């Protein structure tokens, strides 16, 4: 680990009380949750249908049994625990330095670590609703349901509150993310290759003092960054003092 870069990150964090963190799958992989696009990710595993097809809205509506077979097996990681990155971000928020976490992840680990202001661009596996009457169900209900989860009140099919392919993002969450990033003087981007749009386009709203990239692979946005760290994000944040 490059301790000079860690020290630079520490100095940037120490100098600001208006930090926003924007994170992707790489934040959760250190908690044992598989990502989609890495060499060992879900896109490179073999299923009856490609994962990007299974987690599309049209596939969900057409073949909910197959959708839920994949979803329960690969996307419901209810035993996962926050890693040092999640925990440090929660500490930074509590200390009044971090204003918001904007995340592409759907696992709820930021909240489990104690973060309060979490903007979930792609929704959360922890929230599930009946498509007919709107009744709420937690993730355990989905995990334990046989085949396709059905509403105990009206018998309607339950859908996870996650943004599937072919679905639009929640504009309220997007607008609040844009506001936070626009007003921030430090933006730390971690665990994302910045290839999933429209979420990746949020970086274009940042006009503050310091842009920090923490990712194992290149993102294509290095020319804009003040600091680039290619070490695992959990190891990086474990070195930061609040």
CA gap 224, 209 in Å, rounded: 11
Report CA 206 to chain centroid distance, whole Å: 19
Which pair of tokens denotes residue 207?
């006009």
In eight-state DSSP terms, residue 95 is: T
CA gap 100, 191 in Å, rounded: 16
Helix (H) or strand (E) holding 23: strand 19-23
In eight-state DSSP terms, residue 165 is: B
First vs last C-alpha separation in the chain: 20
In the structure, how many helices (H) and strands (E) does the chain have? 10, 9
Which pair of tokens denotes residue 40?
């060992």
Which pair of tokens denotes residue 112?
């489990």
Rg of the chain's alpha carbons, rounded to an integer? 18
Hey, is 189 helix, strand or coil?
Answer: strand
CA gap 230, 215 in Å, rounded: 5
Report, as residue numbers or ranges, the catalytic residues: 122
């Amino acid at each position: 680990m490059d301790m000079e870069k860690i020290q630079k990150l520490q100095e940037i964090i120490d100098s600001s009380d208006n930090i926003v963190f924007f994170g992707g799958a790489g934040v959760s992989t250190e908690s044992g949750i598989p990502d989609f696009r890495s060499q060992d990710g879900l896109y490179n595993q073999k299923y009856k249908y490609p994962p990007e097809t299974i987690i599309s809205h049209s596939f969900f509506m057409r073949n909910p049994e197959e959708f839920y077979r994949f979803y329960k097996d690969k996307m419901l990681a209810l035993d996962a625990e926050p890693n040092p990155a999640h925990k440090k971000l929660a500490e930074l928020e509590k200390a009044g330095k971090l204003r918001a976490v904007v995340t592409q992840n759907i696992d709820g680990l930021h909240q489990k670590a104690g973060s309060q202001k979490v903007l979930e661009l792609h929704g959360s596996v922890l929230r599930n609703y009946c498509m007919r009457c709107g009744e709420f169900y937690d993730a355990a209900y989905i995990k334990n349901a046989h085949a396709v989860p059905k509403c105990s009140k009206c018998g309607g099919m339950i859908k996870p509150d996650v943004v599937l392919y072919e679905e639009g993002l929640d504009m309220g969450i997007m607008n609040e993310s844009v506001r936070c990033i626009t007003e921030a003087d430090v933006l730390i981007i971690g665990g994302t290759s910045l290839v999933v749009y429209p979420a990746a386009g949020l970086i274009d709203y940042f006009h503050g003092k310091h842009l920090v990239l923490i990712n194992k692979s290149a993102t294509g946005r290095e020319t804009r960054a003040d600091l680039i760290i290619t070490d695992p994000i959990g190891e990086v944040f474990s070195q930061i003092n609040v």
